[in-house]
Structure 1
Amino acid sequence: MPVHPEIKKILDIIPKYDPNHKVVPEEHRKMFDAPILPIEQRVQVHAVEEKTISTPEADLTIRIYTPEEGDSYPILMYFHGGAFLSGNLESHDEVIRPICMESGYKVVSVGFRLAPEHPYPAALNDCYYATKWVKENKEELQWDGQNLALAGDSSGGNLVAAVSLMARDKKEFNITKNVLLYPSLDLDFSTFRYSSLTENGTGYFVESAQLAELNGFYLLGGVDTDNPLVSPIREENLENFPESLIVTAEYDPFRDEGELFAENLKKSGVPVELKRYDGVTHGFLGKWTHLDEYKGAYGFIGEFLNTASVD
C-alpha cells in the first residue's frame, strides 16, 4: 500500500539527505534523543525507578517500569535503538511505557554505553551483563524466576539477537522470548544485498547511503561484520534461539533482513511470528502509533509475550 498520508505529509517537508554532510555524534544525539510526547501525554505506569548497577565493565543506569502493584513479575529487558551512537533511557520512554502496560511485564531499560566513545563490543557486553544482573537480583526486582524476555528496536534489535546468541552459548541465564522491532541485523554495508535497502533507501527517514557511516562509529578498529555477534543474520546455527516476534515496516530499509532472519529461524525450528506493518516507515512505534492503522501494535507485542511458549 502507499505510504500512510499522514506520514507522507512529514516525509514531504523534511530536508533531503545531503551526502556531503558528515555525521557528528553530538548533533545526531540532539536530534534523535528528544522524545516526541511530553511526559503528561505518555502512557502512565504504576512506578518508574532509575538505579545504577555495577557490571564487570562499567556502571550502568537502568530504568525500571512496573505495570501494577504485585508480588512477582515477568521481566522484559529493553535495548534502545539509535545506530549504537544515539538513544538513551529517555528517548524510548514513550515506547516502553505502553509495552509495559500491554504486556504486564516489569520492563528494565538499559542505558548502555554508546559509540564512538565506546565501540563494539561495549553496548553488547553492557546489555548482556545487565540481563545477567537481573537474574542475579531476583528478589530485589520481584522477578517470577521464569519469564525473562528481551526486546529492542533497530540497532537494539541487533543487540537482542546478539545477547540471545551469547546467552544460548554461555548458559548463564535463559531467555524465554524475543521481540525484535524493525531490527538491523547485518552491519556489512559494503553492498546492498537486500532489496529493501534500495527500494526504501531514500526519503523514508533512514537513508541507506548513510548507514555505513552511522554504524562505523560502533565498528571502529576493523570489526569483522561477519561475526554473528556483530551481524546476527550471519549465524548459521539458530537452534535453541528464543521464540521470537519480528516486526517489520513496509517502507524500511531494514525490512528484508528482518524478514529473512524470521525465515532463518523457522528453518532452524525456532517458533517465530513475523508481523509486517504496511504503509509505515522505520521507527514507527511512538511516532505513528496514534494512527488507527498502528494503534494495535503495542497490544500485539503484549499478546505475544503472554502467549504460552511453543515447545
Structure 2
Amino acid sequence: MTLHPEIAKVLGGLPPSDGAPIDPVRARAAEQAQVPPPEERLPLHAVEDTTATTPSGEVPVRIYTPAEADSYGLLVYFHGGAFFSGSLDTHDGIARSLARETGHKVVSVGYSLAPEAAYPTALQECYGVVRWAADNGESLGWDGGNLAVAGDSSGGNFAAAVTAMARDDGFDRISHQVLLYPSVDLDFDTDRYASLRDNAEGYGLETRALKPHNAFYIDSGADPADPLVSPIKREDLSGLPPALILTAEYDPLRDEGELYGRRLREAGVEAEVRRYGGATHGFLALFSWIPEYHAAFAEVSRFLGRG
C-alpha cells in the first residue's frame, strides 16, 4: 500500500532528519506547544490528576473514567517519546481514546524522563504504578477482571518490560499487553531489520534519528543488550500475558515489533500482530483523526474483550 495521502501531505512539509544532537528541553517545549486546550479534547465522564505511591516514590498519574459505571476494567498506559520526551499532556488524546473505545478506566503514567532520571527509574515507576493500581483496585472501581498494560513506541518498550518484571516477580494480575508500534530492540544496527533500511528516510521517524533520540536513555545506564531495555532479547518469553501488537507499514521499527509477536507465539503466548498499511510511526498520536487509523482503538477494545 502506498503512503496514506493525508500523511504524505504532512510529511511533505517536514525537513529530513540530520541526525544531529537533540536538546531535550527544547524538544519537550515544542511538543507541549502543540497540546490542544482542554475544551478541544475528547470529553469523558471524568479526568483526574493524582499521584501513585510506589516503591520508587510518588508518580504523577492521570485517571480517565469513560462513563459512569459501578466498576471498570483497568488499563495502565505508558506514553511514548524515546524515553526523554512525551508527557501526560502530549499523549492525552491517546489515553482518552483508549478509555472511550475500551470502556476501561485508564491510568496514564507520568514517569520520569531521561537524562534527568537515570535508568531504571522510569521503568521501575511504570511497574510500580501497575502494582499500585492492583493494590488500590477498590478505590479505582476495578471490577477485578482486566488489568492491562499498554504503551506506544518507547511506552510499548515499557509495557513489554513491565510484563516481564511481573512474570519474574510472580505477579500474575496483568491480563493483556497492548504494544503500539513498539520499540523493543534498542540495537539500531541497520543489518538487523529490513524496515530500518526500507523506511530509513522520508517517513517522519528516520533511522538516522534513532540513536540520538534514544541516547539520553542509553547514556543514563540502559544497556541495549539487557532484556529489560530491549525486551526482544529476553530468552524465555513463556508465561507472558496475551499481546496485541500494532505496527505501521512505513516505520523503521516495524520489523522488530512483528518479530517480537512471532517470538511470543513461538513461546506459547497468544499474540496478535496487525500491520496498518500506509501508516507511519506514531500514527495514533498524529493521525488518529483519519478513520482507518482511529479504528485501531476499536481493535484494542475487541482484544480486551469488550468489542
Q: Same fold (TM over 0.5)?
A: yes
1:5 aligns with 2:5: yes
Tell me, in whole angstroms, the C-alpha distance in 2 between the residues paired with 1:138 and 1:42. Answer: 27
Aligned to 2:301: 302
Residue 222 of structure 1 deviates from its aligned partner by: 4.9
Provide Cα deviations, 1:90-114, integer angstroms capped at 9, x if missing partner: 1111111111011010000000000
Provide Cα deviations, 1:238-273, integer angstroms capped at 9, x if missing partner: 111110100000000100000000100111111111
Contact 2:178 2:245 in 1 (8 A): yes
TM-score normalised over the length of structure 2: 0.95
Report 1:1-311 matches (<5 A): 1-19=1-19, 21-35=20-34, 37-306=36-305
Contact 1:73 1:143 in 2 (8 A): yes
Tell me, in whole angstroms, the C-alpha distance in 2 between the residues paired with 1:157 and 1:123. Answer: 13
Residue 146 of structure 1 deviates from its aligned partner by: 2.3
- Percent of aligned pairs with the same amino acid: 50
Determine helix, strand or coil for the equivalent of 1:210.
Answer: helix
Provide Cα deviations, 1:76-129, integer angstroms capped at 9, x if missing partner: 000000000001101111111111011010000000000000121111100000
Residue 305 of structure 1 deviates from its aligned partner by: 1.0
Contact 2:284 2:294 in 1 (8 A): no
Residue 198 of structure 1 deviates from its aligned partner by: 1.1
Amino acid at match of 1:18: D
Residue 189 of structure 1 deviates from its aligned partner by: 2.0
Residue 192 of structure 1 deviates from its aligned partner by: 4.0
Contact 2:17 2:208 in 1 (8 A): no
Determine helix, strand or coil for the equivalent of 1:241.
Answer: coil
TM-score normalised over the length of structure 1: 0.94
Contact 2:200 2:208 in 1 (8 A): yes
Contact 2:24 2:84 in 1 (8 A): yes
Tell me, in whole angstroms, the C-alpha distance in 1 between the residues paired with 2:146 and 2:271. Answer: 17
Residue 307 of structure 1 deviates from its aligned partner by: 5.6
Of the structure 1 ranges 248-257 and 53-62, higher mean CA displacement relative to structure 2 is found in 53-62
Instruction: Structure 2: state its 5+ residue gaps.
Output: none
Amino acid at match of 1:24: D
Closer, same or farther: CA 292–54 of 1 in aligned 2, 3 Å: closer
Of the structure 1 ranges 208-217 and 179-188, higher mean CA displacement relative to structure 2 is found in 208-217
Tell me, in whole angstroms, the C-alpha distance in 2 between the residues paired with 1:126 and 1:100. Answer: 22
Provide Cα deviations, 1:25-78, integer angstroms capped at 9, x if missing partner: 111212334455443333211100111222222211100001111221110000
Residue 282 of structure 1 deviates from its aligned partner by: 0.5
Contact 1:168 1:174 in 2 (8 A): no
Determine helix, strand or coil for the equivalent of 2:237.
Answer: coil
Residue 297 of structure 1 deviates from its aligned partner by: 1.5
Tell me, in whole angstroms, the C-alpha distance in 2 between the residues paired with 1:187 and 1:193. Answer: 11
Tell me, in whole angstroms, the C-alpha distance in 1 between the residues paired with 2:30 and 2:194. Answer: 28
Tell me, in whole angstroms, the C-alpha distance in 1 between the residues paired with 2:16 and 2:190. Answer: 23
Tell me, in whole angstroms, the C-alpha distance in 1 between the residues paired with 2:202 and 2:17. Answer: 8
Instruction: Structure 1: state its 5+ residue gaps.
Output: none
Closer, same or farther: CA 34–150 of 1 in aligned 2, 3 Å: farther
Residue 221 of structure 1 deviates from its aligned partner by: 4.9
**Number of equivalent positions:** 307
Determine helix, strand or coil for the equivalent of 1:217.
Answer: helix
Provide Cα deviations, 1:147-181, integer angstroms capped at 9, x if missing partner: 10000000000000000000011023421001100
Closer, same or farther: CA 36–223 of 1 in aligned 2, 3 Å: closer
Amino acid at match of 2:23: V
